[in-house]
Each structure stands twice: as C-alpha cells, then as structure tokens.
C-alpha cells in the first residue's frame, strides 16, 4: 500500500523543497527501513515537518501520540516543544518501542518523551489530561475508540491530528468497496467525524491524508 496520493515526481519535488530532517531522524529512518517490518509506516520528512509546525504553533504542554512505531513522529514533534512540554507516546509492539526508546535517548529527549507500552486505550484511561495535541496513527480499527476516549480530555484549544484518513484513496474509491477491515474502519471513522457536532475538522491530502480536529 502506497503512502502517497500524488505523483512520485510531485512528492519528490515537495520533499526537495522541505527543510531536510535532522541527522538523528535520518539515522532513525535508515535503521527502520533496514530492520523493521512495514517501513511505509514511517512518518517521513514532509509529515514530520508538518507535525513540528503544528507543535510550534500550538505550543502544547502535553502531547499524546497513539502509535509510536520507531519514534520518528515523536522526535519530529519534540523539536518544537516548549520548555515545559512533554510527549506521552503509546506503542503495543515491544520491538518498535525498544527502537524508539533507544533513538529518543540518543537524541537527548528521554526526559521529554515517555513511551508507554501496551494497548493505547488502556494507557489513555490512566491519563487525566488535558491533552493539548493528540496524534492518532495506530491500528485503523481502533481509531473511533481512540477518538472518543481522547475528545473529553482535550484542552479548550486542543487539537486532534489523525493520520491515514484517505487510506491510499481507498476510502473514496468505488473499486475499494470491499470488506477489507481497515478500509471500512477508516470510512466509518471519517463519516463519524464529519457528522460530529462537537468538533470542527478539515481533511488534508498530506501524504496518506491527515484530518485536523478542534472543539466546535
């Protein structure tokens, strides 16, 4: 499954005109691609910079990330965290969490990024919030449950950022009208959010689709 919705040459052009990733992120990407399964799950430079800009603008005190993978997005966001800001990131896989924690420590962010292992929904229940920014990028079947769990704990001016909402275009393609679980889950999530009077949202075609949500 491709993570890109635009032509390769346009994606390459955009990447070439985006500030390059820091050295520790380049090394993390190299190791991820060489040693971990599903390297297409990497956030990458364009989306990483996009997340960094959101952190720069929002200046959150508490960021919740659902789906750490190898730690790229958490480290990208950490670059713009305010002095008192911190990130709690949830990861089910011990293998992925091990890689993330090692790179987080090497980048000097171990005191600001906490990796919580286990089911994210269990971790969310232990966190009182309020969350100033939530980044959801985990199992697609869990998106709706994660959304409902974090929305009551969102700060007044908090932001929810949801990845993969276009699912390589499958959510909008009649040819993808099948029983594939992730496609159906993403369609259900997108429809739920669009009809939810509690929030205002915008869906962007960055990489595999990103939705931004705030309280109405």
Concatenated DSSP letters of the chain: --S--S-HHHHHHHHHTSPPPPHHHHHHHHHHHHHSS-GGG--HHHHHHHHHHHHHHH--SEEEEE--TTSHHHHHHHTT--TT-EEEEEES-HHHHHHHHHHHHHTT-TTTEEEEES-HHHHHHH----EEEEEE-S-GGGHHHHHHHHGGGEEEEEEEEEE-TTGGGGGG-GGG-S--HHHHHHHHHHHHHHT-TTEEEEEE-STT-EEEEEE-
| Confidence category of residue 205, pLDDT binned at 50, 70, 90 | confident
Mean pLDDT on 44-71: 96
The mean predicted confidence, pLDDT, of the chain is 93
| Percent of the chain whose predicted confidence (pLDDT) is above 90 | 81
Question: Is this structure's pTM higher than 0.95?
Answer: no
Q: Taking 60 as the threshold, does the pLDDT of residue 1 lie above it?
A: no
Q: Taking 90 as the threshold, does the pLDDT of residue 31 lie above it?
A: yes
Domain locations in the chain as residue ranges: 8-215
Q: Taking 90 as the threshold, does the pLDDT of residue 207 lie above it?
A: no
- Looking at residue 11, its pLDDT comes to 87
Task: For 82-140, write each residue's pLDDT tens digit.
Answer: 999 999 999 999 999 999 999 999 999 999 999 999 999 999 999 999 999 999 999 99
Task: For 135-187, write each residue's pLDDT tens digit.
Answer: 999 999 999 999 999 999 999 999 999 999 999 888 987 665 555 788 999 99
Q: Taking 60 as the threshold, does the pLDDT of residue 199 lie above it?
A: yes
User: Which CATH code for domain 8-215?
Assistant: 3.40.50.150
């Amino acid at each position: 499954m491709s993570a890109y919705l635009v032509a390769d040459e346009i994606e390459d052009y955009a990447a070439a005109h985006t500030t390059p990733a820091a050295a520790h992120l380049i090394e993390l990407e190299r190791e991820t691609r060489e040693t971990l399964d599903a390297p297409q799950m990497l956030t990458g430079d364009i989306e990483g910079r996009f997340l960094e800009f959101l952190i720069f603008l929002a200046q959150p005190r508490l960021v919740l990330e659902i789906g750490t993978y190898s730690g790229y997005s958490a480290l990208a966001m950490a670059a713009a965290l305010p002095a008192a800001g911190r990130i709690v990131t949830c990861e089910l896989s011990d293998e992925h969490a091990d890689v993330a924690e090692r790179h987080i420590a090497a980048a000097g962010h171990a005191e600001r990024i906490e990796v919580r292992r286990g089911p994210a929904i269990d971790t969310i229940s232990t966190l009182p919030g309020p969350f100033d920014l939530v980044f959801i990028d985990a199992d697609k079947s869990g998106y709706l449950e994660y959304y409902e769990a974090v929305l009551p704990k969102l700060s007044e001016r908090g932001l929810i950022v949801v990845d993969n909402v276009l699912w390589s275009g499958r959510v909008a393609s009649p040819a993808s009208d099948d029983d594939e679980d992730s496609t159906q889950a993403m369609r259900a999530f997108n429809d739920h959010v669009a009809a939810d009077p509690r929030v205002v949202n915008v869906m962007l075609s960055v990489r595999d689709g990103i939705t931004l949500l705030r309280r109405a």
